[in-house]
Amino acid sequence: MQAEETIIENMNTMFWSNGAGNGGKDWLGMNALVGTGNDSGSAIGGIDATDSDNSWWRSTLTNQGGALTIAAMATMYNTVSVGNDQPTIIITDQDEYEKYESLLQPQLRYTDATVADAGFQNLLYKGAPVTFDAGTDIAGKMFFLNTKYIRLVAHSDVWFKPTPFVRPTNQDARYAQIWCYGNMTVSNRSRQGMLYGLTD
């Protein structure tokens, strides 16, 4: 159980990372696939989005530099949408999630006073679920993701493969490693977006 919890925590950290952690062995996370690849000169999939000829490969980044607004969300959502190809999930940190919830509170209506509820069970924006994560690399950001183009690719021979247990010569203990080779990939960055610089 401890190994499972550690793996879940490490995978969640990598999901938001830029891939530089663990000596460059971490997966590319959303901050690389969506965020930093537009302005850092890093190439995603061998394509440099900073090159003027590769503008089609850029995700949409907007420095909000202030409080979250419905108008900013609408602009981002519409910018990364084409027809029915729209964001399938919106993920942010807890502060921005609660800010979005507060923006919706004036729209709350009670139809049955005997079961009146002070909040929302599920938050959506234009049909896309809005949720939050506690990862440190997501603070002050809101990702508009189209998961149709995001995939976790696993190495078929080395995917959660445990090594044999070994016993160190100076300890009364045994240990083993769990190998997991893979990476996060994106096939259409222009359908992904991020608001950043958000302050609640």
CB of 133 closer than 8 Å to CB of 12: yes
pLDDT in tens, 162-189: 889 998 888 888 888 888 888 889 999 9
pLDDT in tens, 100-141: 999 987 765 544 555 445 555 678 899 999 999 987 788 899
Q: Whose structure tokens read 């919106």?
A: 90
Record the tokens describing residue 140, joined without a space. 């002050």
Record the tokens describing residue 62, joined without a space. 């907007």
CB of 38 closer than 8 Å to CB of 59: yes
Taking all residues of the chain, what is their mean pLDDT, rounded to a whole number? 84
Record the tokens describing residue 4, joined without a space. 């499972």
Taking residue 59's Cβ as centre, other Cβ atoms within 10 Å add up to 25
pTM over 0.75: yes
Burial of 80 by CB count in 10 Å (0-12 exposed, 13-18 middle, 19+ buried)? buried
Q: How many percent of the chain have pLDDT more than 70?
A: 88
